Amino acid sequence: MIKSKYSDISFEKISAAEEIYDIFDQNNADIKYDYFNFHVKNHDNSEIFKIIKNQENIGFISLYNIDAINKNAYIYGFTKEKMHYSELVKSIISLMIYAFENLKLNKLNFIYREDNYFFDDICRHLKFVNEGILRNHLFHGDTYYNLCLYGILEHEFQRLIVDDYKKMYTWDYNFTPTNFTQIDIKKFMNCRAFSNNLENTNNANLNDLCEFVLNREILTDNCLNYKNIKFNVNIFDESMKYDNIACESQKIELEVNYYNDLLFIAMAQFGYQESDITLVYDDGSIEIKEFNISDWCERILKDEYVVHYALGCRNLRRNVNIIKGDSFVLLKKIAVNSHKKLMKIILPNNRNINIFALGSNKGKI
């Protein structure tokens, strides 16, 4: 039986493959019909486990096509909601340990439909090796699909398991409420992106296309949560004129101190944005860091974590249309030189990047 390496999740083995389809039917994670769906129905040599969090079944992981002679298998996972992506990654790590240490396999393969974009991030974070594209390999709904093929060997996994993947899985690394401090950026805010209803957009106007973000739910404490860390934001409080910074090289003075990392609640518009952020230290030195972030209405491409889902809207001539059913606000981490005292942050000179909150974990490591 697979054992979880993480205290917040556990696993329950499923005896019949058909039980997973209740999870597929409840899917809100945009993971489409895949090679796994077809293959697991036609082979008995598979092990499937429910992912349990707070006594709720949030998804599953599986080893299938287990080949005892050649000592390899295929791996797959799935969640009902995008909010459980971090638990899925943890579950796959636990399953990899089970496959290599308990079943003594030599290789794990990850194969998925090319447009199931989230698995790009899964394979990249867990350091699977890209082994190519299988062209027109899956036929479903009168359409042929390419499949992406990745693999990892047992000795590669052992080399990477140091520090429990924390350095690869960056949004799970070194942040707790005890060492976290939010930085007040309200006086720098110059833009409103969010509205709470379609009837009164409260002058929310993210860009020249009259686009704005419509909340799917209103959180009473005016906070966005990353695990058990709360970021106070203005997006739920329509009495506030602004709820974010449209970046124009604003200079944010900090309490001069040692910082390990900075966390930004942010999003981009008009596509994936590549920019720079400048860190100024008290010894006069500066450090220029990449500050790249994904579009609010497109798939996530980098080390980011979704902290809020909403609807993308456009308001033209008082006719409001929902243009995107799945837009989001992201958490972005920027590493800081922890051996110098940070004094100031100079934001990107790019109004297509919007920042809603900023925090840090202070203290020399």
Say how far apart CA 337 and CA 260 lie, in whole Å.
7
Average of pLDDT values for 318-327?
Answer: 68
Q: Mean pLDDT highest for which of 74-88, 158-172, 285-299?
A: 285-299
130: three-class secondary structure by DSSP: strand
For residue 346, the model assigns a pLDDT of 97
> In this predicted model, what pLDDT tens digit does every residue of 79-130 receive, in sequence order?
877 667 778 888 998 999 999 999 999 999 999 988 887 787 788 778 888 8
- Confidence check: pLDDT of 315 > 50: yes
Single pTM value for the model: 0.57
**Do 224 and 321 belong together in one domain?**
yes
Q: Mean pLDDT highest for which of 22-36, 152-166, 251-265, 286-300?
A: 251-265
Last residue of a domain, one of 126, 154, 172: 172
For residue 207, the model assigns a pLDDT of 81
For residue 205, the model assigns a pLDDT of 83
Question: Do the domain assignments include residue 208?
Answer: yes
Average of pLDDT values for 171-196?
Answer: 79
Question: Do the domain assignments include residue 296?
Answer: yes
Say how far apart CA 37 and CA 55 lie, in whole Å.
25
Question: Do the domain assignments include residue 3?
Answer: no
Last residue of a domain, one of 111, 138, 172: 172
Last residue of a domain, one of 120, 140, 172: 172
Write the secondary structure of 53-114 as one string of H (helix), E (strand) and C (coil).
ECCEEEEEEEEEEEECCCCEEEEEEEECEHHHHHHHHHHHHHHHHHHHHHCCCCEEEEEEEC
Dmax (CA) for the chain in angstroms is: 67
- Confidence check: pLDDT of 311 > 90: no
Q: What sections of the chain are H helices per DSSP?
A: 21-25, 35-41, 85-97, 118-125, 154-160
- Confidence check: pLDDT of 151 > 90: yes
For residue 43, the model assigns a pLDDT of 59
Question: Do the domain assignments include residue 305?
Answer: yes
- Confidence check: pLDDT of 170 > 50: no
Q: Tell me the percentage of the chain whose pLDDT exceeds 70.
A: 82
Question: Do the domain assignments include residue 262?
Answer: yes
Helices and strands (H, E) in the chain, number of each type:
5, 20
Its sign, for the CA torsion 239, 244, 249, 255, is positive
124: three-class secondary structure by DSSP: helix
What does the DSSP assignment read for 141-179? TTEEEEEEEEEEEHHHHHHH-GGGGTTTSGGGSS--GGG
What crossing angle do the helices spanning 118-125 and 85-97 adopt, rounded to 10°? 50
- Domain limits at 334? 177-362
In the numeric block, the tokens 């005292």 are attached to: 341
**Do 160 and 229 belong together in one domain?**
no
- Asked if 100 contacts 2 with a C-beta cutoff of 8 angstroms, the reply is no
- Confidence check: pLDDT of 38 > 50: yes
Least confident of 13-27, 236-250, 275-289: 13-27
For residue 325, the model assigns a pLDDT of 61
The CATH number assigned to the domain holding 89 equals 3.40.630.30
